[in-house]
């Protein structure tokens, strides 16, 4: 088994790390102290396609696999754990179950706005 990241995965990691350092880390303590949903952080992650990870492009997602999801989660969590929890819940508790178990009608209705961070 090869545990080295592909070039594409390394680029994703660098993008996620740079984003987390510049956008999340400076506001992490404020987000935690205010005990609020980090709407701005979520919208910024949506712009990068993070909210559509593990959702195929046919449903508006950015695709990706478990490794890409873990790469992004690790970098986001390093900067702001609560924002990582929001992203994880969005993907793992909401979008991914619809993709895996929803009807085609449900997938077409719910996944595109979820993938784009609109819901």
Residue 1 within any structural domain of the chain: no
What is residue 102's DSSP assignment?
Answer: S
Percent of the chain beyond pLDDT 70? 99
Residue 24 within any structural domain of the chain: yes
pLDDT of residue 55: 92
> Which of the pair, 48 or 63, is modelled with greater confidence?
48
Tens digit of each residue's pLDDT (9 = 90 or more) over 11-20: 999 999 999 9
Tell me the C-alpha distance between 34 and 105, whole Å: 38
Residue 47 within any structural domain of the chain: yes
Give me the number of domains the chain comprises: 1
Tens digit of each residue's pLDDT (9 = 90 or more) over 55-89: 999 999 988 888 999 999 999 999 999 999 999 99
Residue 21 within any structural domain of the chain: yes
pLDDT of residue 115: 95
Residue 108 within any structural domain of the chain: yes
Take residue 81 and report the two structure tokens written for it.
């754990």
What is residue 117's DSSP assignment?
Answer: T
Residue 107 within any structural domain of the chain: yes
Q: Report the CATH number that the domain containing residue 76 is assigned in CATH.
A: 1.10.540.10
Global pTM value: 0.89
How sure is the predictor about 48, in pLDDT bands with cuts at 50, 70 and 90?
very high
How buried is residue 58: exposed, middle or buried, by Cβ count under 10 Å (0-12/13-18/19+)?
A: exposed
Residue 2 within any structural domain of the chain: no
Residue 95 within any structural domain of the chain: yes
Domain range for 35: 7-115
């Amino acid at each position: 088994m090869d545990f080295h990241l592909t070039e594409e995965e390394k680029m994703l990691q660098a993008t996620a790390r740079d984003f987390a350092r510049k956008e999340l880390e400076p506001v992490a303590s404020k987000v935690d102290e205010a005990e609020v949903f980090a709407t701005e952080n979520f919208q910024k992650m949506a712009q990068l396609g993070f909210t559509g990870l593990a959702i195929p492009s046919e449903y508006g997602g950015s695709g990706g696999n478990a490794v890409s999801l873990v790469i992004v989660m690790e970098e986001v969590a390093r900067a702001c754990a609560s924002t990582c929890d929001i992203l994880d819940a969005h993907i793992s508790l909401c979008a991914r179950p619809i993709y895996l178990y929803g009807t085609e009608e449900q997938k077409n209705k719910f996944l595109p706005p979820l993938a784009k961070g609109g819901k």
